[in-house]
Amino acid sequence: MKMITIKRLSDCSFQDAVTAWNRGFTGYYMDAQVTMESFLNRFVSEGLSTELSILAYKENEPIGLVLNGIREINRKRVAWNGGTGVAPEFRGTGVGKLMMTDTFTIYKENGVNMAALEAIKENEKAIKLYQKLGYDIKDQLLIYESSNFSQSISFRGDFSEYGILKVNPSQIQHVPFYKTRLPWQTQWQSVISGEGLIVTDKSGEQIGYALYKQNYNDNGSHVSTTLYQCETLQDRNDKQVIAAYILSHCFSPFDQKLKRMIMNLSHTNQVVISLLHKSGFEKKIEQVYMEKTF
């Protein structure tokens, strides 16, 4: 494309990356603007790479970017597109397709077997572009939130048959029914600074698990909790009670007004969704989860 140059982020400044991000997500479906600090924090916590990410320039002006990371999952190299943005005045000109084509070259150079991304459900133009480029929709993802919350009846029950083990998030991957094919941000690697929780029955069998993170302000006060995974052993008849036990633990204490969020919950997890609805959580965002094989 005339006058458009694609560069690796490793050859650019982070200031240009922040500029490209904020321009690229201007007028987005939610507030996605970042500061240098928040951009760098996200870049590190989500395992993104300067060698794999790219910026688009018109002359010396950053006008777009694609952020990428790669992980080894089940002996396969999985790439994640952590954000594709194009400045408003350049949308519809082919810049997005140009960047994605360059991204695929990077994926192939690095032996990627499967690529994944999420897109806001309403962003039909982006979804259609990804489909033309070989991505398929594999799941519908839901983000729930509650800021005015008190422990409701749906999070109560007879939990006397269960026990809880608090573990490092990395240990969750060893739970026999741990789900590896989930959105990047909900995988244990992205929650390494958070907490892991395993529910056991009286025999010691692992029957549920969660990944979550408590967030604190500069004064050390607990201000929010984000839940990334909440899963139960599927052949159990008491799945709802197990899930309620997990949620009651992750979202406590209930005498504090905290922002509580569930990140990228699969629409198939009806046990958890039912409990959230009964407890007054609101669905804030819907996304599609997409994959492309190489």
pLDDT at 155: 80
Q: Encode pLDDT of 20-75 as tens digits.
A: 999 999 987 777 899 999 999 999 999 999 999 999 999 999 999 999 999 999 99
- Give the DSSP letter of residue 239: H
Distances (CA, A) of 16 to 48, 72, 77, 228, 261: 16, 29, 28, 30, 31
Question: pLDDT below 50 — which residues of the chain?
Answer: none
Give a three-class secondary structure readout of 110-148.
CCCCEEEEEEECCCHHHHHHHHHCCCEEEEEEEEEEECC
The two structure tokens encoding residue 173 = 């991957």
Domains defined along the chain, listed by start: 4-112 (3.40.630.30), 144-286 (3.40.630.30)
Q: Which of 42, 101, 47, 100 is nearest to 72 (CA)?
A: 47
Count CB neighbours of 60 within 10 A: 7
- For residue 227, give both structure tokens: 């839940």
**Which backbone phi and psi does 68 adopt, to 5 degrees?**
-135, 150
Q: What's the confidence (pLDDT) of residue 3?
A: 87
Distances from the Cα of 101 to the Cα of 97, 163, 205, angstroms: 6, 49, 47
